[in-house]
Structure 1
Amino acid sequence: MTVLQILPCSVSQLLSASKASSDTFALNDLEFNQVSVVGVVRELAPFVKYVQYCLDDMTGPPLTVMQWVNSEDCTPLVFASPGSYVKVIGSLRSSTGERSLQAKHIRVITDLNEITSHMLEVVHAHMQIFKKKFDVNMNITAVPSEELPSVQGQVLHVIRRGSVRDVGIGFNELQSNLDFLSIKDIKSSLTSLMDQGFVYHTIDENHFKSTDP
């Protein structure tokens, strides 16, 4: 099994990863020790020995992130306030059935382009893990909509058309273009497309872009 030291991930991938050993997890046949995640801080709870964050990247339920205080290090912790975007590098842990991320480094993001860059890194890593198609320049090869299940293909087709805009396409516009589909089917397709790395969120959880033209 291949082991990767730092794997760009989404929260949903961390929550669905299988346990490979006592201190490692795996996606498909790729075992990883450390991950990088980008998201918005929803909650902050400082304790004596650690700071606990609730991190949300809008791909699934929020993830608990714990940053331990190093008593031998005189450098004070810089708290990331709720509402700010951060990049976290750390190790995934599981205790009593609950997943959490033990942070080695937390940095507040000031350039929002870094959020998009991270999501593209996640997509590239995901494509490599699950052996999706790449061209000779290591760009993701566009998957024809007809190769996907019919509903997913229709949703992806509309999202691709709306991806010419920086913010992508909003859910209301997506639904308007697919008014012959139920909201449940559209949301289910969106979840599947994001899990497969074809679609990602932009300015909020209700705007989407495709990872290829």
Structure 2
Amino acid sequence: MWNDQGGGGGFNTPGSQTPGGGEKKRTRAQNLVPVTISSVLECTEESLSIEGLEVGMVCLLGKVVSISNEATKSVYSLKDKTAQIDVIQWLDEGQDASKDDVCEDMHARVIGTVRNSGGKKHIMAFKISPVEAMSEIKGHTLEVEYARLKIKQLKDKENSSINVNSSSSLSNSLVSGNNFSSSGGGGSGGGSNFSNPKHSAVFKMIAGCMREEGISKEEIQNSLKGRVGPNDLNDALYFLSGEGHIYSTIDEDHFKTTDS
């Protein structure tokens, strides 16, 4: 999914090698930031940034105005108080879109990445879940403002000592200790039944950690010693991050699931 054309972020994270080696390339941010729809649409850069911070994944909350189900995907028209945007969810083989927990006129929480197709921005959804309490709407509004102010504060602090473009800590700080992802069930997203059993084992370890900062890479490695080697762990983290199942928290070596 991450390799599809379009989307990305504006904060220049350092390039890195893929798990299999090869040429270095620029990697996407792995953070998760709550935003409004208008902030997505109004961004004039190729990719989304908030106060100079590259945004890897966004969390949106709004009313589902319409749903269009096709053979391979569902397109949701999502509207909040600021604007309206299309959200695309690709269907797994055999998945029945008619059994989705999210219906028209419901409020939904969306976690995904910003994409640009033909000059029009949309969201590629990793998870769509129904909003179960109206207080979540007000809470999301507060989270959006808190995230913006926190980003600005961290950016100002980083700029006082080092170039912001070389900082990796800033790009991962915003997700720590905030309920940016839905804790409810339903919708698309997290799951531990991957075709690669090592990916499943790593995901289960991350999902089982209830700490706010998530679980460290070292702890995962120690717990799965003998079952998942270092290279396999790197491959699993790369895959799970790229597919939107996990994100990094206090630094690049601590992870949580997007539906935790």
TM-score by length of 2: 0.45
1: CA distance between counterparts of 2:101 and 2:44? 31
Q: CA separation of 1:4/1:121 partners in 2, compared to 1, >3 Å: closer, same or farther?
A: farther
Q: CA separation of 1:129/1:17 partners in 2, compared to 1, >3 Å: closer, same or farther?
A: farther
Whether the 8 Å CA contact 2:101–2:129 is kept in 1: the answer is: no
- Aligned residue for 2:132, secondary structure, equals coil
User: Quick check: 1:28 aligned with 2:62?
Assistant: no
1: CA distance between counterparts of 2:43 and 2:93? 32
- Aligned residue for 2:55, secondary structure, equals strand
1: CA distance between counterparts of 2:36 and 2:116? 17
Q: CA separation of 1:16/1:4 partners in 2, compared to 1, >3 Å: closer, same or farther?
A: farther
What amino acid is aligned across from residue 67 of structure 2 in structure 1?
L
Pick the aligned partner of 1:121 from 143, 151, 154.
143
Aligned residue for 1:38?
61
- Aligned residue for 1:40, secondary structure, equals strand
- Aligned residue for 1:124, secondary structure, equals helix
Aligned residue for 2:74?
51
Q: CA deviation at 1:79?
A: 4.8
2: CA distance between counterparts of 1:75 and 1:44? 10
Whether the 8 Å CA contact 2:68–2:75 is kept in 1: the answer is: yes
2: CA distance between counterparts of 1:29 and 1:4? 15
Q: CA deviation at 1:19?
A: 3.0
User: Quick check: 1:67 aligned with 2:89?
Assistant: yes
Whether the 8 Å CA contact 2:91–2:97 is kept in 1: the answer is: no
Structure 2's unaligned 5+ residue stretches are 1-10, 14-28, 155-260
User: Quick check: 1:6 aligned with 2:32?
Assistant: yes
Partner deviation per Cα, 1:125-184 (whole Å, 9 max, x = no partner): 11123449xxxxxxxxxxxxxxxxxxxxxxxxxxxxxxxxxxxxxxxxxxxxxxxxxxxx
2: CA distance between counterparts of 1:120 and 1:56? 17
Higher RCO (CA 8 Å, separation ≥ 6 residues): 2
2: CA distance between counterparts of 1:16 and 1:4? 22
Q: CA deviation at 1:50?
A: 0.4
2: CA distance between counterparts of 1:4 and 1:122? 18
Moved more, 50-59 or 64-73: 64-73
Partner deviation per Cα, 1:94-117 (whole Å, 9 max, x = no partner): 011100001100000111111111
Aligned residue for 1:162?
none
1: CA distance between counterparts of 2:121 and 2:65? 17
Structure 1's unaligned 5+ residue stretches are 133-213
Q: CA deviation at 1:4?
A: 5.6
Moved more, 78-87 or 43-52: 78-87
Q: CA deviation at 1:18?
A: 3.9
Partner deviation per Cα, 1:24-52 (whole Å, 9 max, x = no partner): 42123100111000000001110110000
2: CA distance between counterparts of 1:40 and 1:114? 12
Q: Which runs of structure 1 show a deviation greater than 2 angstroms over 4 or more consecutive aligned residues?
A: 1-4, 17-20, 72-77, 128-132
Aligned residue for 1:203?
none
- Aligned residue for 1:19, secondary structure, equals coil
What amino acid is aligned across from residue 93 of structure 2 in structure 1?
S
- Aligned residue for 2:126, secondary structure, equals strand
TM-score by length of 1: 0.55
What amino acid is aligned across from residue 37 of structure 2 in structure 1?
V
RMSD across aligned positions (CA): 2.3
Aligned length, in residue pairs:
128
What amino acid is aligned across from residue 48 of structure 1 in structure 2?
A
